[in-house]
Amino acid sequence: MSSRPSPAAAVVLGAGVSAVLAAGWLIHGGERPRPPASPDSRPPRVTLPVSSPARPPDLPWPASGQAAVRVAGQPGSLRTHGEQRPVPIASLTKVMTALVVLTDHPLTGTAEGPSIEVDRQAATEAGNPDESTVPVAEGQRFTERQLLELMLIPSGNNAARLLARWDAGSEQAFAARMNATAARLGMRKTTYTGASGYEDTTVSTAADQLELAEQAMRNPVLRDVVATARTTVPGVPGAIVNTNKLLGLPGVVGLKTGTSTAAGGALLWAVRRPSGDRDRLVLGVVLRQGEPGDTLGERKAAAFAASRRLIAAVQRPR
């Protein structure tokens, strides 16, 4: 049985976060009263206050790579850092995989969905030491929701590919569905070539990933799974621990980690920021974190550190 925090509620605007993320606003003034005009004099010159942008505080952007932050549901709130060119995104790919699966096979509430059999390929891939996988055996059966958990929480590549084959018949056909969804969401600089993100040819930008994140967090089941810090799945030994260590921070409700040699450290995150009696969902992402020569662990740590600084900034009272 899963142990999860409550699903994130629908999100509403917070004035403090808006002050951090808004691109600027104008300060307007009215005219001074004019004295009566006389026939032998020109009308007095009126000086109006000059409209000027009020610059919001700068966010603590990472020193390298690219990043983006936006307030969900607030047009014009997107702020980006670094050149927004397509780069490998590693396991951030799995957010799109989950969205496509849940679009094709919707789940509601606590429904588990249909039973899916583990095929030989998924079982063979479970023993690959070079990938993030989950220990499953051929012939085992898991529900759709359980496979989503095995894909998103411990980041099982073999679970992602199994879901893709189940959904579309082949991973290639599923990737076509992923790209069609990306196009529909306006992710113009994104290309998916597989369901897991293991391929370096799957590329995106920070800005595009926040388009995906906003759509993903509208799905209650996906939202619930990415907010799960720890769970168990019958047939898989031991506790399944989320790779996203940010879930221990106040207000953090997701989303997904990703690390590879080509991608560096990548992290897509979602945090609720209280505003009065309501919450606002703030989304952020950092890509290509870490330095050349860093280990994968060091690159992942760099992504966490950069994200923590951004989260602290957007949660700070204004």
Active-site annotation, residues: 91, 94, 155
Asked if residue 283 lies in contact with residue 264, where contact means CB atoms within 8 angstroms, the answer is no
Task: Please give the C-alpha separations between residue 197 and each of 71, 92, 253, 297, in angstroms, as whole numbers.
Answer: 26, 7, 22, 18
Using DSSP's 3-state secondary structure scheme, residue 95 falls into helix
Using DSSP's 3-state secondary structure scheme, residue 303 falls into helix
Residue spans of alpha helices (H) in 198-242: 206-216, 220-226
Task: Please give the C-alpha separations between residue 118 and each of 44, 102, 151, 202, in angstroms, as whole numbers.
Answer: 84, 19, 13, 25
Element (H, E) at 179: helix 171-184
Question: Which residue from 314, 273, 275, 272 is spatially nearest to 59, judged by alpha carbons?
Answer: 314
CA angle at residue 241 from 148 to 68, to 5 degrees? 70
How many CB atoms neighbour CB 287 within 10 A? Answer: 30
> How far is 269 from 125, CA to CA, in rounded Å?
28
Using DSSP's 3-state secondary structure scheme, residue 66 falls into strand
How many CB atoms neighbour CB 130 within 10 A? Answer: 7
List beta partners, residue 241.
230
163 by Cβ neighbours in 10 Å (0-12 / 13-18 / 19+) ranks as: buried
> How far is 300 from 258, CA to CA, in rounded Å?
8
> How far is 314 from 153, CA to CA, in rounded Å?
25
